Structure 1
């Protein structure tokens, strides 16, 4: 395989989100009490799942990206073909299935439900009013994937599931925001596209702040309430300033949510 093709595949997998989600879930898994073998299996399952989702997205969007002349996309730039990216997506998905089930049938099926929801988004739901649903499912099942792999197969706390789902909703809004104009030009009319850039920019920090409140309520730890106060202050400041500030506020609040989940990984079943 040519170096250019490998580089194209690396860019087409959406490396930023892929790496971020993999590191986040791996850290939460380690904090929850999984042993080294279990943590490595979770990391491998999450990585292959995220790779499959990213490659599926770029393969499915190849025609629209070409129509919009999005040269930042490796398929449009000629670094790799849509067929190669599509084959890589299916290969990663094939690896993801046994790696997910290695944590147990319940944990594995929970993760595969999230991966399936993400593929549904890539293959059509992104252009509908239900575009938010795959993100909420995909993130919402992650605490279950972690806890159902623990001894005794405990279910996650409700606040962990709902908090993660709200984190996914915020991720959806933040992910779509920069591309709304191009999406509308190529016929993609999901929920954020119908709201428009201004409304999405103002809305994006709010589900993340709600996630912070839920997680703070759930863990009730010494660091949780100060974290909520900081998240609220950042959100208010971002909405007050307008422009790009709400988006930047969303990144800060999402970071707070992730830190809270990691440092309270052992409480996810409480």
Structure 2
């Protein structure tokens, strides 16, 4: 059984939703920090991968330990901005934050063009480098669930682009990866910054999100993003994202 909650609450410091029995979606509450990042815990039979550690404003390690069932824990990041690495010090073994460290850990010999597989034990993930929002950004594809974890490169909100050429190339590569026989059910990013009204975002720094857009995006939104990125930086407002050159 796979599902998403009808809405994300802001009661506890972290809301945990089991998408299925081996995939936990964790939302750090907005009341702890306005970023309200989403973290993902993917369980295999031997290892578990935690994607991102949030802002560090509230303890995370006790929660993660309670969700494991004996697997070795690997902590990695979609990218190294502070709202995604804030809880790193709680963990013993964390993948480095630079492109070189990420490439070395996962065995990516041709950054950013290579795609490698990472086996958790009965669950093989694809690691796809996608710099542009951040130099060390990756996407993670799980063929078992057909989920694509896109970090800050695609989510219902403001897509801050720091390197336009790299971002455009990365989005094109990621869309091509999906089209080349890697079917996606949902794209799951790291934030929600849009309302349920098309193209309408909250004020920057808002820590209350009435009428919040759903987290999950259809794969067609990735195709749309690839199609609207021209050669020159431009602010682009669409129903499910806002491209925001920095």
Q: Could you tell me the TM-score, scaled by structure 2's length?
A: 0.36
Kindly indicate which of the two structures has a greater share of residues assigned to helix: 1
Kindly indicate which of the two structures has a greater share of residues assigned to strand: 2
